[in-house]
Amino acid sequence: MAIERMISEELPARVLVARVLAEAGIEYVFGISGGHTGRIIGGLSQYQNQVRMVTVREESLGSVMAEVYGRLTRRPGVLIGQGPWVLGNGLLGTLEAHLSSSPMILLTDFSDAPHFHLHAPYQQASGDYGSWDARRAFGGITKQVMQAHEPLAAVQATQLAIKHAMAGQPGPVAILFSHDALAGTVAPEAQPGLYPTRFYLPPAPPPADAGAVAAAAERILAAARPVVIAGNGVRIAQGYRGLQALAEAAGMPVATTAAGKGCFAETHPLALGVFGTFGTAAANACIGEADLVLVLGSKLSPSDTAWANPRLLDPGRQCFIQVDIEPKNASWTFPAEQVVIGDAAAVLDQLVAAIGGRGGERRRRAEDRVAAHRKAHGYFDAPQYAADDAPLLPQRVIGELMRTLPAEAIVTADAGENRILMTHYYQTKAAGGFLQAAGTGPMGFGIPAALGAKLVHPDRPVVAVCGDGGFAMTMNGLMTAIEHDIPITVVVFNNNALGWVLHGSGPFAAEFKDFDHAGIARAMGCRGVRVEAPAALAPALKEALAARVPTVIDVRTSLGVSFADITSPLASEASPRRR
Ligand SMILES: Cc1ncc(C[n+]2csc(CCOP(=O)(O)OP(=O)(O)O)c2C)c(N)n1
Ligand SMILES: [Mg+2]
């Protein structure tokens, strides 16, 4: 059948770029108008029923919202803005997308002055004499940089950028538009032709090689103590259901990486929580004694592997099977005896089919193993969850979150000690319940991540947890929450310090004054509550969940617990800093 052309009348490129986004099913564009990109935003005004422009107060927040939208939907999150500010301010979410494989596109510009390229530059990023070079700058932090210098290329580059952001291992793709690319029109008979965007959207991922899957299934069934390590790739592939089905069918305990936390309910009888440097002792013990390790969608960072401590993971005594969409990632940190290249969700379904009903008693035995490790090492049962100290111990705050939030809640984490403590102590009750940066650990992630997650899941409570440092970096996100009616809850671990820095290298240059974050929030039109007594937290959380207004709960927390207290001895003994 013949493929029709995209347009039947002459149209401005700026409108066609907006139309491409709508045709790709992209529902949001995040950012701030600037330079030539204002023209695209003008084009978007014609597609408001399909694509919502979310103007943020700083590009960094737009970049994280876009990254999270991409990570949760598998459709590219879009950041729009002027070249220099998308590069500088928008780096946070872009880098995260680059390192943790979220589909994302950057609609940005050369900020070029037509006819005056070779005069003294004002912001100009063309790479010409005396200007800065956007192609090189974005080249180091994206999967691909596209450039469009004339109208037809503006449209085609947007289609190809969407395609490339989603293809294989997803990632961010930048499009640099010149003035001329967005100022002109495209005629229907233009050569080369433009075609509908649906032809540029990648098809569903193909199944993995059947032989490799069958071999992996046999190895799993032959193992006495197999375990699963699930990473962020399971989330990107939306493989939650398949992960649970495989764990149950094959009888495999499931640990996640820190990045993969939230891919498997930590209340499931096969769950071990997060493993590695800041993981649970139960997870590390169970993995350490495993004879087979199935790694799903994880690159296995040194923090995951406790600095490659062989008492945790060791290819000399454990059989590794690694599933990844990107060949570069498999057999990387450790050699894998069986590599399966494919989308994690597709491979999980294939593995479940290959194992069929052959699991027999394995599930019960695996649950017994997990139960024994939980009994021996403890599992989300710290007595400090009920501590009455004031200022509050972070564990008490986490305990209240666990007791109060419903299973379908989504918690996003920022950076710092609060994130490490959340990773270790917060127990997720359902898959999809936790989200943190996976490839980077930036302060200023939690609040925009919550905004992005709430737009994707408006029917679920979304709670950002951050420190007082991270809150100050991104508190303008609450203005966006008000302006765009995104009712998130923010819980601030207010310890008057860069806690992570203070506990790592002392108080010098790490202490803050005590600000009234709740008052700041109220001044923006949010609800704001200061919590100083432990008993006041649960009611504050319940009211926040019931409110239809963004709420900040500013909790005075103590510095009485340090990341060092929950660092696995496996990491301490193997850390290069000790050598
Ligand atoms: C944008 C950014 N700047 C600096 C850092 C380095 N860093 C990591 S944690 C941290 C302290 C965070 O303090 P706060 O947000 O108050 O959280 P706390 O550690 O006190 O829980 C710093 C400075 C970072 N990860 N990201
Ligand atoms: Mg702090």
Work out the number of other CB atoms within 10 angstroms of the CB of residue 167: 18
* Phi–psi pair at 498, nearest 5 degrees: -80, 85
Work out the number of other CB atoms within 10 angstroms of the CB of residue 323: 35
Residue nearest ligand 1's atom 25 by CA: 442
Separation CA 61–CA 473 (nearest Å): 10
Give residue-wise pLDDT tens across range 442-489.
Answer: 999 999 999 999 999 999 999 999 999 999 999 999 999 999 999 999
Residues of the chain with pLDDT > 90: what percent? 99
Name the burial class of residue 166, with classes exposed (0-12), middle (13-18) and buried (19+) by CB atoms within 10 angstroms of its CB. Answer: buried
Ion ligand 2 residues within 5 Å by Cβ: 467-469, 495, 497, 499
Name the pairing type of β-strands 489-494 and 292-296. Answer: unpaired
Collapsing DSSP to helix, strand or coil, 70 comes out as: helix
- Give the distance (Å) from ligand 2 centre to CA of residue 174: 34
For ligand 1, mutation pick of 440, 443, 511 (most atoms within 8 Å of CB): 443
Structure tokens at 5: 């052309």
Separation CA 422–CA 444 (nearest Å): 16
Structure tokens at 150: 């004339």
Ligand 1 pocket residues where CB is under 6 Å: 415-418, 441-444, 467-470, 493, 495, 497-501
Give residue-wise pLDDT tens across range 280-293.
Answer: 999 999 999 999 99
Residue nearest ligand 1's atom 7 by CA: 416
Give residue-wise pLDDT tens across range 345-363.
Answer: 999 999 999 999 999 999 9
pLDDT over 80 at 579, yes or no: no
- Give the distance (Å) from ligand 1 centre to CA of residue 215: 44
Give residue-wise pLDDT tens across range 495-509.
Answer: 999 999 999 999 999
Residue nearest ligand 1's atom 3 by CA: 443
Using the structure block, give the residue that is written with the tokens 């986490």: 398
For residue 43, the model assigns a pLDDT of 98
- Give the distance (Å) from ligand 1 centre to CA of residue 495: 12
Give the closest ligand to the alpha carbon of residue 436.
Answer: 1
Which amino acid makes up residue 327?
Answer: P
Name the burial class of residue 196, with classes exposed (0-12), middle (13-18) and buried (19+) by CB atoms within 10 angstroms of its CB. Answer: middle
- Give the distance (Å) from ligand 2 centre to CA of residue 495: 5
For ligand 1, mutation pick of 414, 495, 500, 505 (most atoms within 8 Å of CB): 500
Q: Of 402, 408, 410, 470, nearest to 434 (Cα)?
A: 410
Q: DSSP of 478-500, one letter per residue? A: HHHHHHTT---EEEEEE-SB-HH
The length of the chain, given as a count of residues = 579
- Give the distance (Å) from ligand 1 centre to CA of residue 391: 20
Give residue-wise pLDDT tens across range 185-213.
Answer: 999 999 999 999 999 999 999 999 999 99
Q: What's the whole-number mean pLDDT along residues 296-325?
A: 98
For residue 577, the model assigns a pLDDT of 79
Nearest ligand 1 atom to the CA of 503 is: 19
Q: For the whole model, what pTM was predicted?
A: 0.98
Give residue-wise pLDDT tens across range 74-103.
Answer: 999 999 999 999 999 999 999 999 999 999
- Give the distance (Å) from ligand 1 centre to CA of residue 418: 9
Q: Which residues contact 192 (CB under 8 A, 6 or more apart)?
A: 152, 156
For residue 377, the model assigns a pLDDT of 98
3-state secondary structure 384-401: HHHCCCCCECHHHHHHHH
For residue 1, the model assigns a pLDDT of 72
For residue 350, the model assigns a pLDDT of 98
Alpha carbon of 158 to those of 41, 162, 186, 200, 562: distances in Å?
A: 14, 6, 14, 10, 47
Where b means 16+ CB within 10 Å and e means fewer, 262-276 reads bbbbbebebbbbbbb
Q: What's the whole-number mean pLDDT along residues 162-175?
A: 98
Separation CA 533–CA 524 (nearest Å): 25
- Give the distance (Å) from ligand 2 centre to CA of residue 497: 4
CB 417 within 8 A of CB 253: no
Q: Could you tell me the pLDDT band of residue 576, with boundaries at 50, 70 and 90?
A: confident
Give residue-wise pLDDT tens across range 123-160.
Answer: 999 999 999 999 999 999 999 999 999 999 999 999 99
For ligand 1, mutation pick of 419, 465, 498 (most atoms within 8 Å of CB): 498
- Give the distance (Å) from ligand 2 centre to CA of residue 474: 14
Give the closest ligand to the alpha carbon of residue 418.
Answer: 1
Which amino acid makes up residue 297?
Answer: G
